């Protein structure tokens, strides 16, 4: 399933890593006791023949190493932010 780019609520995105067509976003929320909680989403950006952008959660073999690099960077960001 493809989602039109820009239709997702971006208000809780605190960090984004983009490598090629792979985009990893880090979202921040608070636990009831006030502790920060982070969630991560992985998307692949697609461009149609007409130039319209969309995104999907389906990954191909060629995306996997890019996703691993992007997730490593997202993990490092979360670890740094929890130490602050």
Task: Tell me the domain boundaries of the chain.
Answer: 2-83
pLDDT for res 30: 83
The residues, ordered by sequence, that sit 6+ positions from 67 with a Cβ below 8 Å of its Cβ are 22, 24, 42, 59
pLDDT at 10 over 70: no
Q: What is the pLDDT of residues 53-75, one digit of tens each?
A: 999 999 999 999 999 999 999 99
Q: What whole-number percentage of the chain has pLDDT above 70?
A: 87
State how far the Cα of 3 lies from the Cα of 32, in Å rounded to an integer: 31
Q: Which of 15-19, 30-34, 66-70 has the lowest mean pLDDT?
A: 30-34
């Amino acid at each position: 399933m493809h989602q039109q780019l820009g239709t997702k609520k971006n208000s809780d995105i605190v960090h984004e890593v983009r490598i090629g067509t792979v985009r990893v976003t880090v979202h921040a929320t608070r636990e009831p006791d006030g502790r920060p909680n982070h969630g991560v989403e992985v998307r692949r950006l697609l461009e149609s023949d007409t130039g319209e952008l969309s995104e999907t959660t389906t990954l191909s073999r060629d995306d996997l190493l890019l996703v691993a690099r992007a997730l490593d960077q997202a993990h490092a960001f979360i670890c740094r932010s929890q130490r602050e």
